[in-house]
Amino acid sequence: MPDELSPRPTRETASREIRSGFVLPDGELRWRFSRSSGPGGQGVNTADSRVELRFDLARSPAVPEHLRARALARLDGRLVDGVLVVTASEQRAQLRNREAALGRLVDLLREATAPPPRSRRPTKPSKGSVERRLAAKRQRSDTKRTRRAGNADSD
């Protein structure tokens, strides 16, 4: 008999998993709807299809501390009092705009919480590349020297 208390991971939950140990909780997402200026014909004046999605990154208990610090630093210019705001109004339907806004929020958080790239390990040029560079310089120098000598004779 399956345990009724442990929720099964659904496709929706998996799509909201930002990193290991950090799943975007539904209860912390704040949705706001308003009239969109985009496509919609006559319905644009009556339907609230524009979506604004807010997530309080600074105070969310769902975000592990090390990821929170990384995300706050990387999203510093986008945050208003620690809250990340994403809007969507391209589609005519509110549901599609909700999906677009949620997708953008997930992408932003995944990018902001990604581990930093490995630092570059400085390397020296190979012996062959140094020799080729010096040979090319000698050849260019010889070419210019022969031109100089040729010009002096024609004067």
pLDDT one-digit tens code per residue, 76-90: 998 999 999 999 988
State yes or no: pLDDT of 119 exceeds 90.
yes
Residue 140 inside a domain? The answer is yes
Among the listed ranges 19-23, 102-106, 110-114, 144-148, which one has the minimum average pLDDT value? 19-23
Mean pLDDT of the chain: 83
Residues 96 and 142 in one domain: no
- Alpha carbons 57 and 129: distance in angstroms, whole number: 50
Residues 79 and 144 in one domain: no
Residues 31 and 103 in one domain: yes
How many domains does the structure of the chain reveal? Answer: 2
Residue 120 inside a domain? The answer is no
Residues 15 and 82 in one domain: yes
- Alpha carbons 140 and 134: distance in angstroms, whole number: 10
**Amino acid 129: pLDDT:** 96
Which pLDDT band, with edges at 50, 70 and 90, does 152 fall under? low
Residue 118 inside a domain? The answer is no
- Alpha carbons 75 and 84: distance in angstroms, whole number: 8
**Amino acid 47: pLDDT:** 76
**Amino acid 5: pLDDT:** 40
Residues 77 and 137 in one domain: no
**Amino acid 135: pLDDT:** 97
Paired sense of beta strands 29-34 and 22-23, if any: unpaired
Q: What is the 3-state secondary structure of the chain? A: CCCCCCCCCCHHHHHCEEECCEECCHHHEEEEEECCCCCCHHHHHCCCCEEEEEEECCCCCCCCHHHHHHHHHHCCCCEECCEEEEEECCCCCHHHHHHHHHHHHHHHHHHHCCCCCCCCCCCCCCHHHHHHHHHHHHHHHHHHHHHHHHHHHHC
Residue 152 inside a domain? The answer is yes
Which pLDDT band, with edges at 50, 70 and 90, does 6 fall under? very low
Residues 75 and 148 in one domain: no
Residues 91 and 19 in one domain: yes
Residues 93 and 17 in one domain: yes
- Alpha carbons 103 and 155: distance in angstroms, whole number: 75
Containing domain of residue 151, as a range? 126-155
CATH number, domain containing residue 26:
3.30.160.20
Residue 42 inside a domain? The answer is yes
